[in-house]
Amino acid sequence: MRIVTHTDFDGICCAALFIRKFGSSIDITFATIKQAQQLSEENFPADYTCDLPKVSHSVNIDHHKTNYDNLTETNRLTERDVVLPRAASATELVFDHLAFSNDPIAEEIKELGHLADTALLPVEYKPLDIVLNMNVEDSSFLRELSEKLASLGKSILQTQWLENRHEKVVSIHQKTQNVITNFLEHHPILPRVVLIDSRNYIPGKLAKEVFKPFFHNGAIIIALIYEKSVSEPIRISFRVTKVEQSNYDVSIVAKHFGGGGHRMAAACTPNAVDIPHEVIKQLKKIMKPIDTIEFFILDNN
């Protein structure tokens, strides 16, 4: 069995459920959205694609509306696929598809995938979240993490393995927090819509640490520019605060730049020439009359 799954928590949890169901002999490829699209173009022989656009002729298990729309428009959605935009996470869909029953560990994995993909991850999971973000491009680590989640579930939080991994990256995380804190001291009240460039100031792997404190300071929509990897030097993640979740759809903006996602969370890889003016132009199309927007570079000034 060969699976292609996303490199985020939802995708990792999908992999963990497959391992728990079928054992460690299964072949797992961890991919970004762009990499999944490339694999499909190469007709990569996958049996399942999880939390990503459909690879080749695999069974697609996903919950992104933009993916569902694309599959429908291109006539690639089949009866075998489980693509339900109403689902909270792909992990939830995998859990049901694999028909887990009376398995506490699988239940814990499903809960983790749900909490991570709905931005409700409890503080106790923070060390694991940081460790994943800092190793997200290391496929051997992602496999190891999936294996440990498959066998341990939530107990992974008490392992020496996690403690050792966390110790190696905690200082980098603290430096990131300091940059964010210093910036917000100079901008205690933010406009309702914020486009912010975090490149050159915090590691791309920790860029999403920006969201929670910026929402706390008044933003309701955040478009975060960061460098995800060498292959994706410019990426924008869009988020909407939960109190406004029914009033805005940032997937519309992401789709304009070739990306996609959900109403509250979406992403894309635009061209450098689109920043900031074209991104601001597209954000204004989903804004309300009372909204204000501003572009910031994340430094200490």
Does residue 301 register a pLDDT over 60?
no
The reply to whether 165 falls in a domain is no
For the question of whether the overall pTM of this predicted structure is more than 0.75, the answer is yes
Last residue of a domain, one of 132, 158, 184: 158
Given a cut of 70, whether residue 232 has pLDDT beyond it is no
**Same domain assignment for residues 151 and 6:** yes
**What's the pLDDT tens digit per position in 131-177?**
999 999 899 999 999 999 999 999 999 999 999 999 999 999 999 99
Domain shared by 229 and 182, yes or no: yes
**According to the model, what pLDDT value does residue 120 have?**
78
Degrees to nearest 5, angle at CA 259 with 203 and 60? 105
| Final residue before a domain boundary, out of 113, 135, 158 | 158
Express each pLDDT in 118-138 by its tens digit.
777 889 999 999 999 999 989
Q: Is the pLDDT of residue 35 over 70?
A: yes
- Considering the domain architecture, whether residues 137 and 32 belong to the same structural domain is answered as yes
Does residue 16 share a domain with residue 147? yes
